Amino acid sequence: MASIRELARCIGLQGDISIIRNFYGYTRVPQGKQLSLSTQARLLKSSHIHLNLIRVGTNENGWFSDTDEQEIDAAVQTMRDIYARVNIGVGRVERYSITVAQANGRQDIDGNDEAETLTDEWTVPNDALDVFFVLTYAGTTIGLSRTDGSCDKDAKGMDGCVIAIEGDTITTGFVLAHEVGHYLGLDQDFDDNHSPDPNNLMYFMVPNGGQLTGGQGGVMRLHCRMRAACQA
Amino acid sequence: MPVNIVLPFEPLQGTFGDLIFSLDQINLIQNVAAGRDTSFSRIQAIKLLQTANFPDKVHDLQLLMENEQESPEIRHLAATGLYKVNTPEAVEILISNSQIQDERVLTGVMKGLGRIGNESALEAISRVRNSATGLAALQAEFAAVLISHRLGLAGNDLKIPDDSEFLQLPSDAARSVLVTKASEREAEVCLQSLSTQPFGIEYTEDSLYQIQCGQNNWMLVFNREFTHQDAVQTLQSRKAFPGVIATKNEETSSYSTAFLLLTSPAEQPNILNILIHRSTGEQIFSGTALVEGSKAEFSIHSIPRPGAFPVDIEGTFEGGKVELKTALSGTVVQQRRHPTKVIQ
């Protein structure tokens, strides 16, 4: 397992680590998912992205309900499965909390302006993409991101993604993968031939086929938020 | 297009935000929203209730909001849905629910009353201001401010920041803010988006201004009431809600009301206070205007807060038209807040 330790160091993990909680960043093995350590190791030896999962409106201990935490775990694994198709990994996954008392009502998003405000007001100062999970998002939108977002967390504008917990693990996973895809430079619902493809991850409805083309993988790999392959 | 959940069935016609369902589909959505059917997500059903052609959706939403057995998420979404319906009946339901105990739901009710409530809502809002704590009390306070400014009523005045509180624009790190008159097509897109986000005012279709500031694309939209030649005189006579600034989201290609432009006559003669708040109530920009006849010469600056950036905007307003002399913004934001890391 020496190479796992080296990979862990490569993604910024120090000291003794738990494979599930630290190496994958889950609270437990996501329900209905199988984890393959060799697949995760292979993907870290390719381009990968780190995520800060910022839960907005947690209890004072920093947690959502058990069901919501499981939904987030499953969503991240769904995203890992989708991105693996173009050989892109999800590396370090850390959890952060904004309690109800701190959130100033931002756990309930009533419009896209409020989602933008949330990313304007909060950030984690590290090299990972900020993903804010909120408890409700009114209207028909269930996730929001800038396309080709900035890597400068001191710059103006939306510097993260906002995702609603919808009570449906599959949907939340697809929304997470879709919105991060936008942040990494993918446009909405067009494939390489510029026509809508209902099977593509970037189609405007989710869940969809979750497919990514080689061209889309190439666009994501060029984004400044993408980490270089680990050499372990 | 925004990312949407795949619908559980094909609507008769329309797209998200403008869907038309058959009677059977309406019954199914109502049953799922009420929790009597679990064939698809309740949250999705409630969102569909808000946006589609339901004959009696006010009552469906009322039942959900008032049911104390429901989760705060479901009840808050129902409260939000009610103010977006924006009918006198919805206002009455929100007023009659101003004693709800749950803080999140009450916050939604207060937010709704601020946006679509009238003078008759002020008494209920005042009770919440005096009895509630936390966010519900803050939203009640801002609801009273909004109604009072919209209707030009006495009381519920805003704190006017001192000039010394403004963020200073660094001379070596400023860039121009581009302000242009919006094209007819872009104005139409913006007004269509805003039609689903009621704030109790009617917008002009004539003079919309696009504001480009770094990666941000905004639209300045005036209240129709303040586009006539004597608008400045009216602003000098009473508090007012002369317009909004909407933010454009590239992913959805739609606009969302980000900032509310409020004014009040200052104590000094011929001076107006300008206060720009987020739609959720926080003060973001502020300034003053010197009135000369039908023209107001204004300057606007930023108020410090996490994520704020300095601006220096100067220009004139006359008859619903804006002309800018200076429009600069800083390139770096004030330090943002940091969430707490949870040990895994």
Is B278 domain-assigned?
yes
Same domain, B73 and B143: yes
Q: Residue A180: what pLDDT? A: 97
Higher pLDDT: B321 or B4? It is B321
Q: For residue B334, give the 3-state DSSP assignment.
A: coil
Count Cβ atoms within 10 A of the Cβ of residue B235 and give its class: 0-12 exposed, 13-18 middle, 19 or more buried.
Answer: buried
Nearest to A123 among B42, B213, B336 (CB): B336
Contact, B156 vs B119, CB < 8 A?
no
Nearest to A142 among B4, B257, B258 (CB): B4
Is A124 touching B (CB cutoff 8 A)? yes
Q: What's the gap between Cα A183 and its chain centre?
A: 10
**What is the arithmetic mean of pLDDT over B219-225?**
96
Is B247 touching A (CB cutoff 8 A)? yes
ipTM of the predicted structure? 0.93
Per-residue pLDDT tens digits of chain A, which is 232 residues long: 448 999 999 999 998 999 999 999 999 999 888 899 999 999 999 999 999 999 999 998 889 999 999 999 999 999 999 999 999 999 999 999 999 999 999 999 998 899 999 999 999 999 999 999 999 998 777 899 989 999 999 888 888 999 999 888 888 999 999 999 999 999 876 545 566 788 999 988 888 899 999 999 999 999 999 999 998 6
Instruction: With a cut of 70, say whether residue B238 has pLDDT above it.
Output: yes
Q: Residue B225: what pLDDT? A: 95
Q: Residue B15: what pLDDT? A: 56
Q: Residue A10: what pLDDT? A: 95
Instruction: With a cut of 90, say whether residue B42 has pLDDT above it.
Output: no
* B184's tokens: 């007819």
Please tell me the total count of domains within chain B. Answer: 2
Radius of gyration of chain B (CA): 21
Same domain, B202 and B259: yes
Is B329 touching A (CB cutoff 8 A)? yes
Q: Which residues in chain A have Cβ-Cβ distances shorter than 8 Å to B43?
A: 136, 166-167
Q: Which residues in chain A have Cβ-Cβ distances shorter than 8 Å to B47?
A: 138-140
Same domain, B91 and B140: yes
Q: Is the Cα dihedral A134, A136, A139, A140 positive or negative?
A: positive
Chain B residues 49-78 with CB within 8 Å of chain A: 50-51, 73, 76-77
Which amino acid is present at A102?
Q
Contact, A225 vs A52, CB < 8 A?
no
Chain A residues 4-63 with CB within 8 Å of chain B: 18, 21-22, 25, 27, 54, 62-63
Domain boundary among B96, B131, B151: B151
Is B340 domain-assigned?
no
* A92's tokens: 């370090």
Same domain, B73 and B215: no
Q: What is the pLDDT of residues B124-158, one digit of tens each?
A: 999 999 999 899 999 999 999 999 999 999 999 99
| Phi, psi (deg, nearest 5) at residue B289 | -135, 135
Is A95 touching B (CB cutoff 8 A)? yes
Same domain, B103 and B201: no
Work out the pLDDT band at B1, boundaries 50, 70, 90. very low
Q: Which residues in chain B have Cβ-Cβ distances shorter than 8 Å to A102?
A: 337, 339
Instruction: With a cut of 50, say whether residue B117 has pLDDT above it.
Output: yes
Q: Quick one: which H or E segment has residue B40? A: none
Instruction: With a cut of 60, say whether residue B178 has pLDDT above it.
Output: yes
Q: Residue B41: what pLDDT? A: 81
Is B193 touching A (CB cutoff 8 A)? no
Is B50 domain-assigned?
no
Same domain, B199 and B326: yes
Contact, A48 vs A226, CB < 8 A?
yes
Task: Establish how many alpha carbons lie within 13 A of residue A66's alpha carbon, considering only the half-sphere containing its beta carbon.
Answer: 2
Name, in order, each residue with C-beta under 8 angstroms of A173's C-beta and a sequence gap of 6 or more: A74, A75, A76, A77, A78, A79, A82
DSSP structural state of residue B154: S
Contact assignment for A156 to B344 by CB distance below 8 Å: no
Is A140 touching B (CB cutoff 8 A)? yes
Q: Which residues in chain B have Cβ-Cβ distances shorter than 8 Å to A210?
A: none
Q: Which residues in chain A have Cβ-Cβ distances shorter than 8 Å to B44?
A: 166
Is B33 domain-assigned?
no
Is B331 touching A (CB cutoff 8 A)? yes
Nearest CA in chain B to A202: B3
Is B209 domain-assigned?
yes
Query: Cβ atoms within 10 A of the Cβ of B4, count?
Result: 20
The Cα of B64 is separated from the nearest Cα of chain A by a number of Å equal to 15
Contact assignment for B333 to A154 by CB distance below 8 Å: yes
Same domain, B175 and B104: no
Is A182 touching B (CB cutoff 8 A)? yes
Is A105 touching B (CB cutoff 8 A)? yes
How many cross-chain Cβ pairs, A to B, lie less than 8 Å apart?
188
Prior bond of A207 cis (ω within 30°): yes
Q: For residue B235, give the 3-state DSSP assignment.
A: helix
Q: Quick one: which H or E segment has residue B129? A: helix B122-131
Is A170 touching B (CB cutoff 8 A)? no
Q: What is the pLDDT of residues B151-169, one digit of tens each?
A: 999 999 998 998 889 999 8
Q: What's the gap between Cα B59 and its chain centre?
A: 24
Q: CATH number for the domain including B119?
A: 1.25.10.10
Domain encompassing residue B200:
163-330
Same domain, B238 and B308: yes
Is B304 touching A (CB cutoff 8 A)? no
Same domain, B244 and B222: yes
The Cα of B250 is separated from the nearest Cα of chain A by a number of Å equal to 7
Is B238 domain-assigned?
yes
Domain boundary among B95, B122, B151: B151
Is B342 domain-assigned?
no
Q: Residue A158: what pLDDT? A: 85
**What is the arithmetic mean of pLDDT over B311-340?**
91
3-class DSSP string for B276-332: EEECCCCEEEEEEEEEECCEEEEEEEECCCCCCCCEEEEEEEECCEEEEEEEEEECE
Same domain, B298 and B323: yes
Same domain, B223 and B318: yes
Name, in order, each residue with C-beta under 8 angstroms of B24's C-beta and a sequence gap of 6 or more: none
Instruction: For residue A78, list its beta bridge partners.
Output: none
Is B221 domain-assigned?
yes
Q: Residue B50: what pLDDT? A: 78
Contact assignment for B342 to A167 by CB distance below 8 Å: no
Same domain, B200 and B139: no
CA distance B141 to B113: 11
Q: What is the pLDDT of residues B268-298, one digit of tens each?
A: 999 999 999 999 999 999 999 999 999 999 9
Work out the pLDDT band at B4, boundaries 50, 70, 90. low
Q: Which residues in chain B have Cβ-Cβ distances shorter than 8 Å to A116?
A: 247, 249, 256, 258
Task: Establish how many alpha carbons lie within 13 A of residue B341's alpha carbon, considering only the half-sphere containing its beta carbon.
Answer: 11
**What is the arithmetic mean of pLDDT over B190-206?**
93
Task: Give the E-state strand segments of chain A in sequence order.
Answer: 48-58, 89-99, 108-109, 129-134, 136-137, 143-144, 160-164, 205-206
Domain boundary among B88, B119, B151: B151
Query: Cβ atoms within 10 A of the Cβ of B14, count?
Result: 13
Nearest to B215 among A108, A113, A146 (CB): A146
DSSP string, B163-176: GGGSPPPPTTSEEE
